[in-house]
Amino acid sequence: MSTKKRGRRPNKNRKSKLFYINALIIALSVILIAVLIKIFVFDKTETTKNIPQNNHKNTQIQTEQDEHSKYEEKTKELEIEYVDDEKPTNTNNQKTKNQTDDIDYAKDIKQALERSNILNDEPKKDENKTKSLDKNTKQKEPETIKKESIQKTEKKPEIKKEENKKQEKIEIKDKLTPIKESKKDEISNVKNPIIAIIIDDVTTKEQVEKIQNIGFPVTMAFMPPTSGHKDSAKIAINFTSHMVHLPLEASNRSNEESNTLHVGDSIETIENRIKQIREWYPNTKYINNHTGSKFTEDEASMDRLIQILKKYNFIFIDSRTTPKTVAKKYTQKYGFRYIARNIFLDNYQTKQTVSEQLKQAVKIAKKTGAAIAIGHPHKITLQTLKESKELLNGVNVVLVDKI
């Protein structure tokens, strides 16, 4: 009996051990499967959820870039391809010539003041030196006084040099003071300075209404009629004072107006174009160039154009879309006074830059007697002009025929 019992017990122990081992293995495998399911299933679904969000962001960025490129193309159409020798003012890091002149002038005044302070301080130093010398001479013996007197006589040339320097400083100071008076005289000599503001690219009644609501006289330069703006000439007839904005060839010919005059066009081609414009605009006296950075640099082309403009009683105003323009040479050749714009108002379309450019135009008018500023019928330009009447204090705003 004892042997049978001993044989049965080990079998039960083995079975229980195997049971626990199998249970442990099953539990571990279940945990492992759960982990693998989490890694390969749930994480992938989360990543796939995130992917369309990123794609949505990318599509938004792409649409913004597309809108910006469209805006740039529109601005090129509206003549923002200017290569200008006097860049528009950027209030953060750019300085105009007038600003640099004012800074240099301020430096001169500062230096003059510093020099005057030096001159005022030097006598005090000399007085202190004389007092100390008096004290020392009382204490010293007569022999030492004699030696010092000999040394002083030897140092006389150096004293003379110092006196000469002082005189030079006084002369410089005297020279600096009239500068301020002369600048005042230059500005005060200009009586009743005038400024003409031209708005180019006018084609619609809506633009005309907004320009009329600015509150002071503005000259409108109308585009010649095309399929895109058929009624521009009809709208212009209602106004006694207006201009024609003539498309000329630019260095960059993208988004070019139809019937643009090009370099190398014959005199017959130019005459046919100007004759047609005279029929559309019978009362117009002035004409300025739309784009034209390439055309206005070409000698032969400008010679032909000014010759034909004179024949049809047009006066050319140079928009100066390039610093290499030869318009002055050929307007004077055919007996015209050279008229050109001084400032572009809205190469950069922000309220701050438009107002800064307007300030520069006012400064030029006060110095020279007259100035011409050119802008475009952008919303920000017209709104800024409407709100900038205070900037025009001291100048008379006139139509371009009064320049």
Is there a single domain that holds both residue 367 and residue 244? yes
* 147 and 183 fall within a common domain: yes
Choosing from 189, 207, 225, the residue where a domain stops is: 189
Each residue's pLDDT tens digit, 19-35? 888 888 888 888 888 88
> Does 73 reside within a domain?
no
Please indicate, yes or no, whether residues 376 and 303 belong to a single structural domain of this protein: yes
Give CA separation, 370 vs 10, 20, 191, 343, 382, in Å. Answer: 120, 105, 10, 12, 22
> Which residue type is seen at 220?
M
The angle formed by the CA atoms of residues 122, 123 and 126, to the nearest 5 degrees, is: 90
Total domains in the chain come to 3
- Specify whether 254 is located in the same domain as 326: yes
Domain holding 135, by residue range, is: 97-189
> Is the per-residue pLDDT at 154 higher than 80?
no
Q: What are the tens digits of pLDDT across the range 335-381?
A: 999 999 999 999 999 999 999 999 999 999 999 999 999 999 999 99
pLDDT for 175 = 38
Please give the average per-residue pLDDT across 215-226, as a whole number.
Answer: 97
Question: 83 lies in a domain?
Answer: no
Do residues 271 and 301 share a domain?
Answer: yes
- How confident is the model at residue 37, as a pLDDT? 82
Band of pLDDT at residue 191, cut at 50, 70 and 90: confident
In whole angstroms, give the CA distance from residue 291 to residue 295: 9
Does 366 lie in the same domain as 268? yes
Does residue 141 share a domain with residue 2? no
Longest Cα–Cα distance in the chain: 147
Does some domain include residue 85? no
Spatial CA neighbour of 344 closest among 363, 323, 372, 369: 372
Q: Looking at residues 154-162, what average pLDDT do you find?
A: 50
> How confident is the model over 266-300, as pLDDT tens digits?
999 999 999 999 999 999 999 999 999 999 999 99
DSSP, res 295? G
Give the CA angle between residues 33, 38, 42 to the nearest 5°: 145
Q: Under a CB-based contact definition with an 8 Å cutoff, are residues 273 and 304 in contact?
A: no
Spatial contact of 204 and 401, defined as CB atoms under 8 Å apart = no
**Residue 165: predicted pLDDT:** 52
Residue at 69 is within a domain: no
Which CATH number does the domain housing residue 378 bear? 3.20.20.370
Q: What is the mean pLDDT of residues 82-107?
A: 44
Whether residues 258 and 392 share a domain: the answer is: yes
The tokens describing 326, both together, are 């030869």
Kindly report the average pLDDT of the chain as a whole number: 76
pLDDT at 103: 45
User: pLDDT, tens digit, for every residue of 131-151?
Assistant: 454 444 444 444 544 455 545
CB 276 within 8 A of CB 282: no
From CA 55, how far away is CA 48, in angstroms rounded?
11
One domain, residues 237 and 311: yes
pTM of the model: 0.58
Does residue 17 surpass a pLDDT of 80?
Answer: no
Domain match, 308 and 376 both: yes
Looking at residue 114, its pLDDT comes to 53
Say whether both 137 and 11 belong to one domain: no
pLDDT at 107 over 90: no
| DSSP helix/strand/coil, 289 | strand
